[in-house]
């Protein structure tokens, strides 16, 4: 079914986490863009995009993530995408988007780990 789309910041973690739920497509993407813009204007740090509750992402969603990565990359920060769904991971891989400042991890737990390394 058509699931509600929501974007919520969790700032009480080591790194700020954006929890996104639903489907990211041309219809819902503007909401994500707004949230990310608001965030990057206020915060100067790495950011975690939690896509565990996302079951669809299209090129507009990837474009928005790439744009954010470019913006925060200027200050040497990066976007950490958390997702373990094979179909979503595949889209990131086909897109050729993964680079040194867009990282793809399987779980939030791995974020903490990768920080320590």
Binding site for other proteins (CB under 8 A): 1-2, 23, 25-27, 33, 56, 58-60, 62-64, 66-67, 86-87, 90-91, 94-95, 97
Give me the least distance between CB of 95 and other proteins, in Å please: 6
Residues whose CB falls within 8 Å of the CB of residue 35, separated by 6 or more in sequence, listed in order:
7, 9, 18
CB of residue 29 to other proteins, shortest distance in Å:
9
CB of 3 to other proteins, least distance (A): 8
- Backbone φ and ψ for 116, nearest 5 degrees, come out as -70, -30
Region label for 104, one of left (φ > 0), alpha (ψ between -120 and 50) or beta (otherwise): beta
**Contact between 61 and 93 (Cβ < 8 Å):** no
Which residue number, 19 or 64, has a Cβ lying nearer to other proteins?
64
Q: 25 or 110, CB closer to other proteins?
A: 25
């Amino acid at each position: 079914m058509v699931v509600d789309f929501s974007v919520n910041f969790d700032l009480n973690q080591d790194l700020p986490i954006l929890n996104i739920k639903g489907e990211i497509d041309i219809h819902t993407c503007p909401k994500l863009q707004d949230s990310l813009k608001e965030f990057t204007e206020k915060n100067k740090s790495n950011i975690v995009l939690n896509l565990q509750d996302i079951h669809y992402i299209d090129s507009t969603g990837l474009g928005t993530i790439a744009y954010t990565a470019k913006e925060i990359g200027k200050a040497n920060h990066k976007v950490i995408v958390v997702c373990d769904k094979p179909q979503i991971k595949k889209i990131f891989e086909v897109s050729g988007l993964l680079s040194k400042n867009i990282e793809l991890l399987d779980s939030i737990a791995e974020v903490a780990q990768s920080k320590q390394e």
